[in-house]
A and B are shown apart, each in its own frame.
Chain A
Amino acid sequence: MDAKKINQIVLTAIKVVTVLVVALLIVIIAYIIGRGLPHMSLHFLFTESEAFLAGGGISTQLFDSFYILVLTLIIAAPLSLFAAIYLAFYAPQNKLTAFLRMVIEVLSSLPSIVVGLFTYLIFVVNFNFGFSLLAGAISLTIFNLPILTRNFEESLDDIDEAQMQGGLALGLSKWKTITSIILPAALPGLITGIILGAGRIFGEAAALIFTAGQSTSQVDFTNWNPFSSDSFLNIMRPAETLAVHIWKLNSEGLVQDATEVSAASATVLVLIVIIFNLGARALGANLRNKMMGDR
């Protein structure tokens, strides 16, 4: 067979596989949304869930999903940013750094259930956190540090070396150059990295089952005192996120309309993750455009 023909066959094979993968993805998303959309309504989004009767919603689960996401990012984003800055600009090229990178890789491939159990033993039991939003956020932090760190490091590496040199040549210290020149230049990438990480955090269930708990407590959305036990802001109360809710409904759901609620919840989850991803792109591109001006 001549090279031209082989080339054509391989190319066709690649195209077919690509189409298959994309088609599979579209079918899955269409299936989830197709099943869930009929049961979705504003009422569903903004009503509390029922324990036994049909007609409940997911308001608390939805809120808790976002709340735990925000808590996680508050802990994880600064840690990852510092780690990324260290790796990108300060870490010497030696065995210790190589080892550090390997540890990060290993951390990112740990099964989330293992991270969940680890957090359960250390924080929930040993430190007496109990099932709580905070324990859940810590678990998600451990689980997402590697991804965030890598995302951040990549966007910092993308910044041209000339920026660092330009800052140093003006007499700025390395740290000052990083904070005043490199970070602003990397901002679009950093924000995209955060939002993409957020999508992962939002859909995570296994790491939360043993940390944030599997049930919603009585939550009072009018109580703004974060230290009060039934306040929606209390970070020490147990919480059930949307992903955990779906898992729970399917494994031991007692509500009459468990199947419908589960399908609609899955739809909400998928839609939000899609919105995160599209939003990340749009926001990143928008910031980049703003920075470059309209050339």
Chain B
Amino acid sequence: MLEVKNLKLFYGDNEALHGINLEFKDKQITALIGPSGCGKSTLLRTLNRMHDDNQNVRIEGLVSLDGKDIYQKDTDLLDLRKNVGMVFQQPIAFPMSVYNNVAYGLQVAGIKDKAALDAAVEKSLKQAALWDEVKDMLDKSGLSLSGGQQQRLCIARALAVEPEILLLDEPTSALDPISANKVEETLVSLKGKYTMVAVTHNMQQAARISDWTAFMMNGDLVEYGKTKEMFISPKEQRTDDYLNGRFG
């Protein structure tokens, strides 16, 4: 289980997240929404320590995965990121074959058995709803796929190492509507298998795919609840204003 307690994040002296408390529901999709610059992507990136390379960032509070603080000194980053996969806005495959794109994470983790790799590649590509489209071209460059296919390849790449959590940073915003639709369908089909946290600008998308929604503004978590309830009757005035397009 993934949980955030009183999480504060500073860029230099500037506090960008003001004590966030959030409990992500297992095996469901939680959408993080809010106006640009509200801190939703920043929050997402604390969950697999993507801020580690930025010396300007300081983090206080607790991010715990299955009861363990992921910011403890003895946390193995490879293990953590194996457990918490991530898919980004830009749908870009690694400059290698489709097969290697998916197998790479496993190979880095030390798995050499060809049969095991084959099985994992097939399983991951099937989960990402890409297998039928690429099964005859596994040795072609991943970069030769279309944008939507590359994004599903990125999802397969993240799934191959069998994570518990999948973080999605605006996974469809660089895609055309048809490709975006396929990626959404893929994500919905992964419910029940993975805990997913998705940052999105697209309110309809949040309503379509997520079970829970967290609405953020200016580094604060304003409201968190079941997506259906929040979209029909938000408890906070600010949520209501945002959902109805009165700002943002």
Do A and B pair up? The answer is: yes
A interface list, Cβ under 8 A from B = 92, 160-163, 165-172, 174, 176, 181, 184-185, 187, 290-295
Contact indicator B88/A291 (Cβ below 8 Å): no
**Among the listed A161, A169, A172, which residue makes an inter-chain contact with B48, where contact means beta carbons less than 8 Å apart?**
A169
How many B residues have CB within 8 A of the partner chain?
Answer: 32
A168 to B86, CA, bound (A): 10
A176 to B85, CA, bound (A): 18
B interface list, Cβ under 8 A from A = 48, 50, 53, 55, 77-82, 85-86, 88-92, 94-96, 104-105, 108-109, 140-141, 143-144, 154, 157-158, 161
User: Considering residues B86, B95, B143, B158, which has the most beta carbons from chain A within 10 angstroms of its beta carbon?
Assistant: B95
**Among the listed B77, B92, B108, which residue makes an inter-chain contact with A166, where contact means beta carbons less than 8 Å apart?**
B92
List 11 A–B pairs whose Cβ atoms lie within 8 Å, in order of A's numbering.
A160-B90, A163-B95, A169-B50, A169-B158, A170-B161, A171-B77, A171-B79, A171-B108, A184-B96, A187-B95, A294-B144
Lowest 8 A-B CB distances belong to which pairs? Answer: A293-B144, A162-B90, A171-B81, A171-B78, A169-B86, A185-B95, A293-B141, A170-B105
A274 to B144, CA, bound (A): 31
Report chain B residues within 8 Å CB of A187. Answer: 95
A76 → chain B, closest Cβ, in Å?
Answer: 25
Report chain A residues within 8 Å CB of B158. Answer: 169-170
Grouping DSSP codes into helix (H, G, I), strand (E, B) and loop, the A interface class, with mixed when no group exceeds half, is helix
**Among the listed B53, B92, B141, which residue makes an inter-chain contact with A162, where contact means beta carbons less than 8 Å apart?**
B92
Contact indicator A171/B95 (Cβ below 8 Å): no
Report chain A residues within 8 Å CB of B144. Answer: 292-295
Report chain A residues within 8 Å CB of B143. Answer: 291-293
**Among the listed A163, A168, A184, A185, which residue makes an inter-chain contact with B53, where contact means beta carbons less than 8 Å apart?**
A168
A215 to B108, CA, bound (A): 54
User: In the complex, given contacts A160-B92, A168-B53, A291-B95, what are 15 additional A-B residue pairs having Cβ atoms less than 8 angstroms apart?
Assistant: A160-B90, A162-B91, A169-B81, A169-B85, A170-B82, A170-B105, A171-B78, A171-B79, A171-B80, A181-B95, A184-B96, A185-B94, A290-B141, A291-B143, A292-B141
B235 → chain A, closest Cβ, in Å?
Answer: 34
A97 → chain B, closest Cβ, in Å?
Answer: 14
Contact indicator B140/A293 (Cβ below 8 Å): yes
A287 → chain B, closest Cβ, in Å?
Answer: 10
Contact indicator B53/A174 (Cβ below 8 Å): yes
Contact indicator B141/A92 (Cβ below 8 Å): no
A295 to B85, CA, bound (A): 28
Contact indicator A291/B141 (Cβ below 8 Å): yes
Report chain B residues within 8 Å CB of A169. Answer: 48, 50, 81, 85-86, 88, 158
Report chain B residues within 8 Å CB of A172. Answer: 108
Contact indicator A166/B78 (Cβ below 8 Å): no
Also in contact, A181 and B53, with CB within 8 A (given A171-B82, A172-B108): no
Q: Tell me the nearest residue of chain B to A293, going by C-beta.
A: B144
Report chain B residues within 8 Å CB of A165. Answer: 50, 86, 88
A184 to B104, CA, bound (A): 14
Report chain B residues within 8 Å CB of A181. Answer: 94-95
Contact indicator A166/B82 (Cβ below 8 Å): no
Contact indicator A163/B92 (Cβ below 8 Å): yes
Report chain B residues within 8 Å CB of A185. Answer: 94-95
